[in-house]
């Protein structure tokens, strides 16, 4: 995370998001704090991961749930980084 820099490559940032969400469900506020990013800007990376199935919603039936968090799908880190 320390080597991420101010403008990381999207694939690099998305791979890190998947790694963080593999160990425990993480909400957008927590991810933004860990990665030192704006939550709104971070959503540009999370949405494609959710769309392609490598990241899952903790409450898929309620996308706006107040405790919504993200969980890496099993095997998500095995494939190439998502661009």
Using one digit for the tens of pLDDT, what is the confidence trace for 25-38?
A: 999 999 999 999 99
Task: Provide the 3-class DSSP secondary structure of residue 26.
Answer: strand
* Residue 12 · residue 4 · CB < 8 Å: yes
Question: What is the per-residue pLDDT across 11-64, written as a single tens digit (0 to 9) for each?
Answer: 999 999 999 999 999 999 999 999 999 999 999 999 999 999 999 999 999 989
Which of 26, 10, 5, 30 lies closest to 80, judged by CA? Answer: 10
Return d(Cα 26, Cα 20) in angstroms, integer. 7
Residue spans of beta strands (DSSP E) within the chain: 55-57, 70-72
Please tell me whether the overall predicted TM-score, pTM, comes out greater than 0.85 for this model. no
Q: What is the distance between the alpha carbons of residues 45 and 16, in angstroms, rounded to a whole number?
A: 11
């Amino acid at each position: 995370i320390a080597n991420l820099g101010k403008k990381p490559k999207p694939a690099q940032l998305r791979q890190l998001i998947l790694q963080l969400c593999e160990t425990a469900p993480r909400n957008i506020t927590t991810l933004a704090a860990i990665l030192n990013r704006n939550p709104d800007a971070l959503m540009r990376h999370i949405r494609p991961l959710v769309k392609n199935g490598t990241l899952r919603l903790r409450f898929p039936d309620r996308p706006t749930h107040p405790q919504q968090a993200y969980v890496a799908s099993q095997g998500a880190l095995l494939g190439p980084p998502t661009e």
